[in-house]
Amino acid sequence: MKKKILILANNDVGLYQFRKELIEDILKINEVVISLPYGELVDQLKEMGCQFIDTTVDRRGINPITDLKLYFGYRRLLKTERPDLVITYTIKPNVYGGYACRKLGIPYAINITGLGTAFQNDGILKKIVTTMYKVACKKAKVVFFENEENRQIFIKEKIAKEEQTHRLNGAGVNLDKYQVLNYPQGDKVKFLFIGRIMAEKGINELFTAMKMLVSEGVNCELDVLGGYEENYKEIIDKYEKEGWLKYHGYQNDVKPFIEYCHCFVLPSWHEGMANTNLESAASGRPIITCNIHGCLEAVDDGVTGFLCEKKNADDLYKVMKEFTKLSYEERKAMGLAGRKRMEKNFDKRKVVEETMNCLKIIQ
C-alpha cells in the first residue's frame, strides 16, 4: 500500500549527498514530500520524484520566536499533508518536527546525525537541549544513531528508551560512486581536509601541525575544501601566501581532490559519523582522524590510517609526520586496507536496507 512519507531537514546538501539512495528506495512504492530551505540540490531531489515544500530553518541561531514559528509551521504542514510517517534529520527538525508529530499523533522517526556543541560541556545549553530532545523523542517510532557513544548518551540521560534506539553505520558510503582511485606518485605529500571551516572541525590543530611539519622541512602541502562557518579567511590567505596551503572553497564534487591526495585528515572534535572519512577510505586513501566516536570507526589504527587525540596539535603532528615517513607502497597498502574496511562495515546498500527494515515502510 502506497504511503506518504514526509522528510524534515535543514538543508538540501546533506539530504541529497547522504540520503539519496534511501530516498530512491522509499520512492519505489511511496510518495515522498521534503520540507527544507531551498538550495541548488532541491531540483535534483524533485527530479527523483520528491515533492518540495520550501521551509525556512535557522540552522545555527537560538531565537525563541524564530523557533516557535518553525514549530507552528511544522504543525500546519503536518495537518495539511497528513503523512503516514515523518522522518527528521538534524536538531531543529528533530526537536520541533518530532514534538509536532507527537502532539498530532503522527508516526515519526528521528535521526541523530551528531550531538553538536551542546553536549560537549555540562551547562545550561546542554540541559535545555536534553529536555527538548526528551519531549521530542518520547513517542518516536525509532531514534537512529550514527555511533554507539551518541546512542548510549541518550539512553543514560533517559532521553529515549533503549528499545526505541537503533544504531546504523552512519549513512554508509556508496561503493560504486566512490571506487578505488589510482594512488598518486610524487615526492611531496599532499594532505586533504574537507569540511566546514570552523574550530570544532579541528582546523586550528591541523594548521598548527602543518606549520610544524613545514618548519622542519617536510615536503608536504595541504588542500582545504569547504565553506567558511567562522572567519578564517585572513589566516588562510596568509598560509596560501606561504605556499603550503591551497584553499578551494566548497566543491560539489570532491572526488578529483581525493584522487590527488595521499592522505585525508579530519581532526574533528565531534561527529555523528564523518562521511568524508568514509568516502576517502572507500577511494583508497589512508585516513588520519581523531580518536573519537564518529571518526575512529573508519580507521584500523596503524593499518588503514592513524588516530590522534582530539584538540591536540602535537599528537596530530606526530602521526602526520609518521605518515610522511612511509614508503609509497606502504601508503598505497594502507589505502587499500581502508577500502576493504568500508566494504565490510559501511556499504550504503546494507545501511539503506537496515533503515528500511526498521521503518517498516515496505510491507
pLDDT above 70 for 362 = no
At 361 the pLDDT is 72
DSSP classification of residue 94: I
Residue 227 grid coordinates: 565553506
Confidence band (pLDDT; 50, 70, 90) for 177?
very high
The domains of the chain are located at 4-172+347-359, 189-345
pLDDT above 90 for 124 = no
The reply to whether 4-172+347-359 and 189-345 are identical in fold is yes
At 240 the pLDDT is 97
State the average pLDDT over residues 162-174: 95
Residue predicted with more confidence, 229 or 208: 208
DSSP string, 107-129: -EEEEE---TGGGTS-SHHHHHH
* Cβ(224)–Cβ(197) below 8 Å: yes
At 212 the pLDDT is 98
pLDDT above 70 for 197 = yes
| Class of CATH domain 189-345 | alpha beta
pLDDT in tens, 86-115: 999 999 999 999 999 999 999 999 999 988
DSSP classification of residue 97: I
At 286 the pLDDT is 98
Confidence band (pLDDT; 50, 70, 90) for 309?
very high
Residue 51 grid coordinates: 515533492
pLDDT in tens, 314-358: 999 999 999 999 999 999 999 999 999 999 999 999 999 999 999
Q: Which residues pair with 108 in a beta bridge?
A: 86
Confidence band (pLDDT; 50, 70, 90) for 363?
very low
pLDDT above 90: percentage of residues in the chain = 90
pTM, to two decimals: 0.91
Return the CATH superfamily for domain 4-172+347-359. Glycogen Phosphorylase B; (3.40.50.2000)
At 33 the pLDDT is 98
Rg of the chain over Cα atoms, rounded to whole angstroms, equals 21
Residue 271 grid coordinates: 561527529
Mapped onto helix, strand or coil, the DSSP state of residue 162 is helix
Confidence band (pLDDT; 50, 70, 90) for 8?
very high
State the average pLDDT over residues 275-298: 97
pLDDT in tens, 23-52: 999 999 999 999 999 999 999 999 999 999
DSSP classification of residue 349: H
43-57, 61-75, 182-196: least confidently modelled range: 61-75
At 360 the pLDDT is 86
Q: Quick one: which of 263, 245, 244 has its CA closest to 183? A: 263
pLDDT in tens, 217-269: 999 999 999 998 889 999 999 999 999 999 999 998 999 999 999 999 999 99
C-alpha 103/C-alpha 71 separation (Å) is 11
